[in-house]
Amino acid sequence: MDIGVCYFLARPRRFGKSLTINTLYELFNGNKAIFEGLYIYDSWNFKRYPVLVFAFNGVPRGTLAILTAGLKRRLMNLASSHDVDLSTNGEPGELFQELIGILLMPAKVKPFMV
């Protein structure tokens, strides 16, 4: 994928949002085998990148404090799934920056966010 400022990702009709996100997950996770027989199989660099999937269902949102605590918990779980230890005393935005920075350090890759 070329480096740019913004990307518009269109999906075919009846090709759900979740399926689109799951497809991107598998592409960036380097899972080439599931694309065998498809155009992308021979035209994509299946290099593996750290992939963060944010699912906000189940994050409590009663008050700002409850939402913040839920987001922190979700970020800590994401970090744990990538074997990363985050400082626990930051705001969600700070924890997110810390997580991205740690994940990108060894790979020296630019982030791609959907």
Confidence of residue 31 (pLDDT cuts 50, 70, 90): very high
d(CA 107, CA 70) in angstroms, rounded, equals 29
Amino acid occupying residue 7: Y
Which 3 state secondary structure label does DSSP give 59?
coil
pLDDT digit string, tens, across residues 75-105 = 999 999 888 888 878 899 999 999 988 888 7
Q: What angle do CA 104, 83, 48 make, to 5 degrees?
A: 45
Mention every residue, 6+ apart, whose C-beta is less than 8 A from residue 58: none
Number of CB atoms found within 10 A of residue 62's CB: 8
